[in-house]
Chains A and B, each alone.
Chain A
Amino acid sequence: MFDASRENDLVRALLASCCEQVLETMFFSSPLDPTEPPLSTGQARVHSRLAFRGRPAGAFEVDADPQVSRHLAASFLGLAEADVSPQQVIDVLGEFANMACGSALSSLARVEYFHLDPPQTAAVDCFTPSIEGVRRAFVLEGGTLGVCLRVEFDPE
């Protein structure tokens, strides 16, 4: 029998492990504190969101402190933070969204196929979460990074 609560717990654990793996492998960064920080609603953030289609369908979003976004972009590109352009900050956070979402979906046992739409990324002065789903957050150098995944196995 399908147990939605148990599946949410699995997605939550999977989201954490996939995001940590992406951060460590491609951004050469690790979460600094195992304690999960509070929601970043109302704060200045760099925010990326993408939808995915297939079985399942759904959406993924990531939000990060501007300092975290710059630090991640510098690590990803192998540049000094001062040499990273605003566009590169935006593009790299979009890549993070793409990779973290794709990695999580590829690890879900019930996934048959999916197609990720291009991420929509922007810097915002007052962040408001735009999707409902399973949330996780991490403390990184320079601030916090939050992610949210909504998976619809049987969209109407």
Chain B
Amino acid sequence: MSLNILIVDDSPVMRSFVRRVMQLSGLDVNQYLEAANGAEALDVAASQPIDAVFTDINMPIMDGEEFVRRLRQQPAFNHTPVIVISTDATANRIENMIALGASGYIQKPFGPEQLRNETERVLNLNNGGACV
């Protein structure tokens, strides 16, 4: 399965890093889409097919919490895998993001193996346990 990936982060260098690690991980990606905040990400999601979303939390204009909340309010994105990438791995933060609808969580620092493992885990959940 070739994936359309949406990367949401206000840092251009972090978006580049996620793309790079995604390539190193060996995941089959068809298209990388990018947004600098949650509001931009909602616009992109409305106009392009998306298979999985990777989002930061702390962003200007619309942060990751509000983005995940609004994305999940849309029936078309009820089951779209959303993986949070954050430096904050406190239990409070992770529980809050999962409660809002995040499918997975990757703590920085991370490399290709962690990215691949978490992506495959949430895609398998989404496919009812079938192999990606």
Contacts of B58 in A (CB 8 A): 115-116, 118
Minimum CB–CB distance for B106 against chain A, Å: 11
Report whether A101 and B87 are in contact in the complex, using a CB–CB cutoff of 8 Å: yes
Smallest beta-carbon distance B108→chain A, Å: 5
A114 to B88 Cα, complex, angstroms: 8
Is A25 interfacial (CB 8 A cutoff)? yes
Q: Looking across the interface, which residue of chain B has its beta carbon closest to that of A84?
A: B13
Closest to A21 in B: B109
Alpha-carbon distance A99/B110, docked complex (angstroms): 10
- List residues of chain B with CB within 8 A of the CB of A113: 90, 92-93
Instruction: Check A112 against B92 for contact (C-beta < 8 Å).
Output: yes
Known: A26-B108, A115-B58. A106 touches B90 (CB 8 A): yes
Residues A99 and B89 in contact in the complex (CB < 8 Å), given A77-B20, A91-B12: no
User: Is A98 among interface residues, defined by CB-CB distance under 8 A?
Assistant: yes
A76: nearest residue on chain B (CB-CB)? B17
Task: State in angstroms the CA–CA spacing of A106 and B109 once bound together.
Answer: 12
In angstroms, Cα B108 to Cα A106, docked, is 10
Residues of B within 8 Å of A80, CB to CB, are: none
Q: Does A124 contact B (CB under 8 A)?
A: no
With an 8 A cutoff between CB atoms, is B104 at the interface? no
Of all chain A residues, the one with the shortest Cβ separation from B21 is: A26
The CA of A70 and the CA of B89, in the complex, are separated in Å by 28
Q: Are B13 and A95 in contact (CB under 8 A)?
A: yes
The reply to whether A77 and B13 form a contact with Cβ atoms under 8 Å apart is: yes
Least CB distance, B16 to chain A, in whole angstroms: 5
Asked if B107 is at the interface (CB within 8 A of a chain A CB), the reply is yes
Please report the C-alpha to C-alpha distance between residue A95 and residue B65 in the assembled complex, in whole angstroms.
20
Which B positions have Cβ atoms within 8 angstroms of A?
11-14, 16-17, 20, 58, 86-90, 92-93, 107-111
Q: What are 10 contact pairs spanning A and B, CB under 8 A? A: A25-B110, A26-B17, A77-B13, A77-B20, A88-B13, A95-B13, A102-B86, A102-B108, A103-B89, A106-B87
